[in-house]
Structure 1
Amino acid sequence: MTLPSSLLNAFAPTGTLRASINLGNPILAHRTTSGEPGGVSVDLARELASRLGVPVAFTAFERAAESVETVTNEDADIGFFAIDPLRGAGIAFTAPYVLIEGCYLVRDASPITRNEDVDREGHRIMVGKGSAYDLFLTREIKHAEIVRTALSHTVVEDFLRDNLEVAASVKQILEADAARIPGLRLLDGRFMVIQQAMGLPKPRGDDAARYLREFVEDVKRSGFVADALARHGIEGASVAPAA
């Protein structure tokens, strides 16, 4: 199927699909042994580029906020983000392709036993600055203090270093740190479901946004996303239902 030139120009005005990759979420992206980005997000970008008939180039960031800024400023053509109203000001999102849980972690000796106990005066919650759970908790937390660290994957280390009461992050990251570091436990349940979606700059137009939405629905329906999760050994994340 030959795509209209206007659609190709909307996705790849330089002739190459420039994909912004957030390495701060290791469930969906990581650096390979060669130093190049890999993971579910990278697989999706390659598949989209293949369908568009253009080459793909990757720019990887350690923080979600940097990846969001790059796409918003049109220095990249597509990105992979958790859906959030604040980010939606400049980015046209698809429906989610993957769902991930956001959870809390505390020390074994902590008196905090339930998610509902976290939002109390005197509690400090360590989060990754600009992450989806930072944006969510900034809106939802009324009494506890939110403390932000530069990188999502150092949330637990920084929570321990600064002797805070709670660490908040993606469930799989917290589980890995709890298994590695004695004396930590996750609270039961989750405080949010992180909806991971694709997005492109809003100025690229309705036709491009529609094509990207349809692409995401197709890769969910066909099993491409499920296969990518399995191929990269990802546990705990689930394919989002059809929009």
Structure 2
Amino acid sequence: MAVTDSIRAAFTPTGKLRASLNLGNPILANRDAATGRLFGVSIDLADEFGRRLGVEVEQVVFDTAGKSVEALADERADIGFFAVDPARGASIEFTAPYVLIEGYYLVRNESAIRSNADVDVAAHRVAVGKGSAYDLFLTRELRHAQIVRAPSSPTVVRTFLDGGLEVAAGVRQQLEADAARHPGLRLLDERFMVIRQAMGMPGSRGGDAARFLREFVEDMKSSGFVAEALARHRIDGALVAPAG
């Protein structure tokens, strides 16, 4: 679709494209400790979308997915980058996913938990990032284990360790990095979910704007833009999603 004045206006009611960015998922967005500059796949996509619209991008930054979702739902942002989940669909219009991310469980080496099937028992407490895709998914799926919500996804393993919990759940890469810093931890051998990471916009912005955003994501996948961004940021394990 061509950029029209009405499409541009739908995405920029304040005159800028406000991009809701979640730093709680290191696969997608990070902040350079030395310069403070944001970098990652979602930042690249936001910048490219702004370029196509011919508008300035305003970064609206959060430390958790839940806060980032709320900003878009409340229309304090115009686009965002989230895992597709039914609980978020009431107020947000999603594209097809652009990246697939694996969710894994982490336990202590001496734990008797050996498979995903061993996790959901009443004696187990599972640490998750509050409002994350894992939180939403496991809240629906776990019938017996207790969910303990950490303030954010990057603090899940600290919550797991400090609280003496039995299981931590999160992005495989984040858990692997935490396990490397804390000896005596191991990931289970199989993923418990695949997160479909998509772009989203407020549902009130209209069908033409939603189609424009969906077509943008498909172009970013088919052109190699997403694959090149994953390689440039040295992201291992995330996969470019198939055509939507």
Query: Could you state the TM-score of these two structures normalised by the residue count of structure 2?
Result: 0.98
Over the aligned positions, Cα root-mean-square deviation in angstroms equals 0.9
**Which segments of structure 1 move beyond 4 Å, counting only runs of 4 or more?**
none
Q: Which residue of structure 2 lines up, in the alignment, with residue 30 of structure 1?
A: 30
Within 5 Å, which residues of 2 pair with 1:166-185?
A: 166-185=167-186
Unaligned runs of 5+ in 1: none
What is the letter of the counterpart of residue 175 of structure 1?
E
Within 5 Å, which residues of 2 pair with 1:141-220?
A: 141-220=142-221
> Residue 15 of structure 1: CA displacement?
1.6
> Residue 2 of structure 1: CA displacement?
6.0
Contact 1:103 1:191 in 2 (8 A): yes
> Residue 232 of structure 1: CA displacement?
0.5
**Counterpart of 2:235 in 1: which secondary structure?**
coil
Q: Which residue of structure 2 lines up, in the alignment, with residue 49 of structure 1?
A: 50
Question: Counterparts of 1:129 and 1:15 in 2: how far apart (Å)?
Answer: 32
**Counterpart of 2:96 in 1: which secondary structure?**
coil
Question: Counterparts of 1:142 and 1:182 in 2: how far apart (Å)?
Answer: 30
What is the letter of the counterpart of residue 158 of structure 2?
E
Aligned residues: 243
> Residue 77 of structure 1: CA displacement?
0.4
Q: Which residue of structure 1 lines up, in the alignment, with residue 9 of structure 2?
A: 9
Q: Percent identity?
A: 66
Question: Counterparts of 2:180 and 2:2 in 1: how far apart (Å)?
Answer: 50
Cα-to-partner distance string for 1:177-207 (whole Å, 9 max, x where unaligned): 1111100000011000011000000000111
Unaligned runs of 5+ in 2: none
Contact 1:37 1:60 in 2 (8 A): no
**Counterpart of 1:127 in 2: which secondary structure?**
strand
**Counterpart of 1:196 in 2: which secondary structure?**
strand
**Counterpart of 1:220 in 2: which secondary structure?**
helix
Query: Could you state the TM-score of these two structures normalised by the residue count of structure 1?
Result: 0.98
Segment of structure 1 superposing worse, 32-41 or 79-88: 32-41
